[in-house]
A and B are shown apart, each in its own frame.
Chain A
Amino acid sequence: MADLHEIAKQALAEISNCADLRELNEVRIKYLGKKGPIQEAMKVMKDLDEEGRKALGKLANDTKNMITEALEAKESRLQEEELKRKLEAEKIDVTLPSRKKPLGIAHLTQQVITEIEDIFLGMGYTIAEGPEVESDYYNFEMLNLPKGHPARDMQDSFYITEDLLLRTHTSPVQARTMLKYKGQGPVKIICPGKVYRRDDDDATHSHQFVQIEGLVIDEKITMSDLKGTLAYFAKKMFGEEREIRFRPSFFPFTEPSVEVDVTCAKCLGKGCPMCKHTGYIEILGAGMVHPNVLRMGGFDPDKYQGFAFGMGPERIAILKYGIDDIRQFYTNDLRFNHQFNRTL
């Protein structure tokens, strides 16, 4: 009997000394195997009386259980340690460059267009489109620019035939839209698109550029509505702290006509070198739709009033990012395009 206690003691000591799973397995075979010391101790069983057998049996069983438990505990500890070592060996340098398929980048002009579109979509506008190859009639005459009008010189045009030209602004889309509405308001659209002027390409001029114009017509549209709309737009586009101002101007298709300035990003209106000390930067042109334009578009100017505005997304991007050459927008030097890889 004392043997079994001794065996248990010895087994526990050996288990505790095991350094790895292989040693532990040897201990297991040594003590719990068919030729192990417990089996050996059991050989005296047949010489004992029943009570003695019972006692020995129980003791042997307890001893086995004790050893088994110890083995299992040790085994799980060893497994844990081994896993830990393995994981340590698998350590990587997480600062190495990732593995990824690079994402493409939307063209800067398109990013600005989308941003502007979304602001106006949120204000209940829809987006109208129209042809780039236009007739003189839609591009000029419907916009109060009859043939021979000196203001046509403001927009030197590429002509295709006597009557066809590349549109010089997206206003013909407004004209077409007005006709589509057949004199029934409300109209509330913006028209983004490519336009063309007969300008030599240089750092500030491009024979092709993008314009976004807006048109709102209804019975009681006022110039204060125009100012409120553009003030809201300027805050959304440039930041809540920005304000706008109107400066009188001239466009044949609006009356009154204004240039719209937004407070300078840097000085917010106080004046600094960036805004040539004016405190403001010109961003768009606007005005109340000229009664002749309303009339030619099929709207009764005694009943309807409207406002219109136009801006250049490239110019807005130039102001926003300080780009020094408009030709960059069409060169597609990927070192340029890839700089604009996030919104705002």
Chain B
Amino acid sequence: MLLWWKWLKSYLDLSDITPEELATKLTLAGIEVEGIFKLSEATNLVVGHVLEKTKHPEANKLSVCQVDLGDTTEQIVCGAPNVAKGQKVVVAKIGAHLPGGIKIKKAKLRGVESNGMICSLRELGIENKLIPQEFQNGIVVLAEDAPVGANALSYLGFDEPVFELSLTPNRSDCLSMYGLIYEIGAILNRPVKLDKQKPSFTVDKNFTVQIQSKDCTLYYAKKVKGVKIRRSPDWLQSALIACGVRPINNVVDITNYVMMELGQPLHAFDLNKLQASQIIVRNAHNGETIVTLDGIERELVDTDLLITDGMRPIALAGVMGGQNTEIDDNTTDVLLESAVFNPLAVRNTYKRLGLRSESSIRFEKQVDPERTLLALQRAAELLVELADGQIDDTLAYAETSKKQPVVIKLPLQKVNDVLGISLSKEIVSDTLYRLQFPYELEEETFTVSVPTRRNDITIPEDLIEEIIRIHGYEHLELTLPKMSTSGSLTHKQKQLRLIKQVLLSSGLTEVMTYSLTSTALNQYFIDKAYQPISLRNPMSEDRSVMRFSLLPHLLQVVSYNQARKWEDVFIFEVGNRYYFDGNNPKEELLLSGALSGEVVESQWQKAAFKVDFFYVKGILENIFERLGVLPKIKFVQNTTPQKDYHPGKTANILLDGEIIGVVGAVHPHTINEFDVTETYVFELNLEPLLQLEIETLGYNPISKFPIVQRDIAVVVDKELTSATLVSAVKEKGKGILKQVEVFDVYQGEHIEKTKKSVALSLTFEDKEKTLTDEEVNAVYDAIINHLEKNYNAVLRK
């Protein structure tokens, strides 16, 4: 919404306040001023009178004009096709500055002296879309009575500031000058009373209005005869341009002007183009069509509301008029419409057809029924004044329901209970008076009759907002809620923070990537059939489906950074996967990571190593250990993993025997497709991990007796996993074997091709006594025996 200072000050005394000061007050009262601008920043412009126009001797397209500037008469060469003798025009004098850095100097144009410039609106800085059609390709021609020699910008009002307002959706009352004047009057504590008594009328006997739809509650039609279509006066055109509306002709301009002034959109039909003396308001039939003012044929549905003359549609209610009854240069008799349409119906129609207009947005936000007749009368009077129209006191109308006025009971106690301060009756009364809200005060309770212009106010809380907004939010106290709650993280939230800590201290950087992805990317790292969650209205194919794995985006991050020479990328993300479980959307929290490149501890000491499977496994084990679930975790070789994993370097991660994730090298094909170097990834479903009840940690007394260590090396079958071997050793530990660790695996010289040598370090301990060699040997021998017998192991000496 645009607010023109010149218009505003014709209603309110603004002599003691600057536009900037007012803007701050408005913003703090909830009417946000996004910017203040002037329609024109030009200087040194006067109204000129073209006394003489002759052809330029050397140039066909140029005219030489003698222009009366009030104090002098100057010769000005002009290139506009529409310049003519007798016109009042805007002249930029020598020394004038125009927008775009143009400075007017004495000049010779093809040998003819020129002392100034006759301006177009564009040269003054007016946007193209606001320039009337007839001045699009030439100079602006002012009204005949424009005062010669006067400052042209002040004459047009283009030197007055315009406020750009950003209104919240509830404040439709501020979509009109009247609404803004009430609002600003309240803010400045200068209340005004604008809405006048409704005019009286008699019912037109020769014209009828019928409403046949629930989407129209009030419809007035009034005839204005004998109008002369012409340009509107300059003041009216200026007001429209300042409000962002392009002037067309006096009839259309008047309907727009009254809409800006009162907030009630109006429509003008060419009365003689109606095929019957009636208006019937009804819903469209499915498939019915109307050609709108813009010449486009619109196919309609039955929720669209139509204005018809009983024979055919003549307008899309509140959205756009029909071409068949359009005002044109030959129009003499006008039918003015002022009506109340259902906001939802107008909204649905303009949204579907893409016909958002000043009119439709006002209907969408609900117009004030108290102004419907006022606006009609105001427009009719302006048509008499500015278009030579003739009116009588008749009009046609129909009304199907009346809006009940809103009356709200507001105890003072309630105001203070909500705000947490102690406002007096006087302050509340004063604020209601400033807002021009009629009220009665009985005991400590206000009974407020909300003016119909404020359709956003329906409950006591709305009034409380008005009171504190006008009184000032700076009057609130700074208190804290008096309640005894204790803040703490849930077990799950704590565990999650812990997981992140382990990853961060392991050198992995956290990333956040989008939840939406493309269908193509959503094919990677998917190891089971599932029903994806796809958008009905995506903005692009790249973001059209909810991701099932975080890994595709992580690989993209690896690729992005490696392409920028950041070779060593270690990242993780915690985020949801999304899928349909039947009809129910499901979300599972995943922890995923990607590691690529070298862990470089020191450049100059050459302390660096390539990330491998075991490095990643170690990080995961640290997480499991911190979470207290390591004993329940197993890494199990997966030789037939999902296609994006390396079949020889991938493991399933099992929690209590259930697969909760995968860790492995990325398959070379996938490596190529994402354009990354060798990369290891993991993806865990955190849900079962975070839900697990963890046994409380117990203390084990430290043994007072020394430990005994024995190493063994056995040659076993190559396929025998280290996990199997270790558990075989533990099986025979007889309670004194505390720990078994693999410290070397060897294949090669002296070892058969199908075999490998595994070296294990065994730790024995007894909490009760010092172990003797005999006791250790007995267990040790039993272990060897077991391995030889059951695992085909050969002890290496």
Chain A residues engaging chain B, CB cutoff 8 angstroms: 96-107, 109-110, 114, 120-127, 131-133, 148, 150-151, 153-154, 158-161, 164, 166, 186, 188, 194, 196, 198, 200, 207-208, 216, 218, 220-225, 227-229, 231-232, 245-250, 255-258, 278, 288, 290-291, 305, 329-335, 337-338
Contacts and interface: CB of A to CB of B under 8 A. Distances in A.
Given A96-B604, A250-B168, A291-B459, A133 B578 contact: yes
B510 A106 contact: yes
Nearest to A206: B514
Given A154-B169, A223-B419, A305-B417, A332 B599 contact: no
Contacts of B539: 198, 200, 207
Contact of B576 (A132, A160, A330): A132
A112 to B, nearest CB: 12
Contact of B477 (A104, A166, A228, A249): A228
Interface string B549-579: 0000000010011001010011110011010
A255 B420 contact: no
A127 B486 CA distance: 11
Contacts of B587: 131-133
A96 B603 CA distance: 10
B488 interface: yes
Contact of A132 (B469, B487, B493, B578): B578
A292 to B, nearest CB: 8
A246 B476 contact: yes
B92 interface: no
Given A132-B515, A220-B482, A334-B566, 13 more contacts: A105-B509, A106-B500, A123-B480, A126-B490, A131-B585, A150-B343, A166-B515, A198-B537, A200-B539, A216-B483, A231-B478, A332-B561, A337-B510
A125 B479 contact: no
Nearest to A163: B583
Contacts of A335: 564, 566
Contact of B569 (A207, A247, A334): A334
Given A224-B477, A245-B473, A330 B465 contact: no
Given A133-B578, A247-B30, A288 B461 contact: yes
A160 B536 CA distance: 5
A227 B510 contact: no
B481 A225 contact: yes
A246 B473 contact: yes
Interface string B512-536: 1111100000000000000001111
Interface in B65-83: none
B566 A104 contact: no
B461 to A, nearest CB: 4
Interface string B340-363: 000110011000000000000000
The 5 closest A-B pairs by CB, nearest first: A222-B420, A248-B30, A224-B420, A256-B465, A250-B168
Contacts of A166: 515, 535
A282 to B, nearest CB: 10
Given A104-B510, A105-B510, A290 B461 contact: yes
Interface string B537-550: 11100010010000
A103 B507 contact: yes
Nearest to A161: B536
A124 B169 contact: no
Nearest to A256: B465
B512 A196 contact: no
Contacts of A290: 461
B510 A110 contact: yes
B158 to A, nearest CB: 25
A149 to B, nearest CB: 9
17 contacts: A99-B605, A133-B585, A148-B347, A159-B535, A207-B516, A223-B476, A224-B420, A225-B479, A248-B29, A248-B473, A250-B30, A250-B170, A256-B468, A290-B461, A332-B557, A332-B571, A334-B571
B488 A104 contact: no
Contacts of B507: 101-104
Interface string B242-264: 00000000000000000000000
B309 interface: no
A255 B480 CA distance: 19
Nearest to B497: A114
Contacts of B508: 104
B478 A330 contact: no
Interface string B453-472: 00000010110110011000
A99 B602 contact: yes
The residue among A120, A126, A231, A248 with the most chain B CB atoms within 10 A of its own CB is A248
Contact of A222 (B462, B479, B488): B479
Contacts of B476: 223-224, 227, 246
A193 B347 CA distance: 32
Contact of A227 (B477, B557, B561): B477
Nearest to B483: A186
B462 A255 contact: yes
Max chain A Cβ within 10 angstroms of own Cβ: one of B365, B469, B480, B536: B480
Contact of A245 (B474, B497, B599, B604): B474
A99 B599 CA distance: 11
Contact of A288 (B344, B418, B488, B504): B418
Contacts of B500: 106, 110
Contacts of B602: 97-100
Interface string B92-132: 00000000000000000000000000000000000000000
B481 A333 contact: no
A153 B171 CA distance: 15
Given A99-B605, A160-B585, A232 B465 contact: no
A104 B570 contact: yes
Given A154-B169, A223-B418, A333 B561 contact: yes
B749 to A, nearest CB: 34
B609 to A, nearest CB: 10
A186 B511 CA distance: 36
Nearest to B546: A133
A259 B487 CA distance: 26
Contact of B364 (A123, A150, A337): A150
B419 A224 contact: yes
Interface string B404-420: 00000000000001111
Given A97-B604, A154-B169, A256-B468, A330 B514 contact: yes
A333 B571 CA distance: 11
B506 interface: yes
B510 A258 contact: no
Nearest to B459: A291
A216 B481 contact: yes
Contact of B464 (A110, A224, A256): A256
Contacts of B473: 227, 245-248, 258
B288 to A, nearest CB: 23
Nearest to B505: A103
Contacts of A222: 417-420, 479
A338 B509 contact: yes
Given A124-B483, A188-B485, A103 B536 contact: no
Interface string B487-499: 1111001000100
Contacts of A158: 516, 535, 537-538
Interface in B590-604: 599-604
B547 to A, nearest CB: 11
B236 interface: no
Contacts of B459: 255, 291
A227 B419 CA distance: 10
Nearest to B573: A107
Contacts of B503: 104
A331 B420 contact: no
B295 to A, nearest CB: 28
A103 B505 CA distance: 5
Given A104-B504, A131-B587, A160-B534, A334 B509 contact: yes
A218 B482 CA distance: 9
A103 B480 contact: no
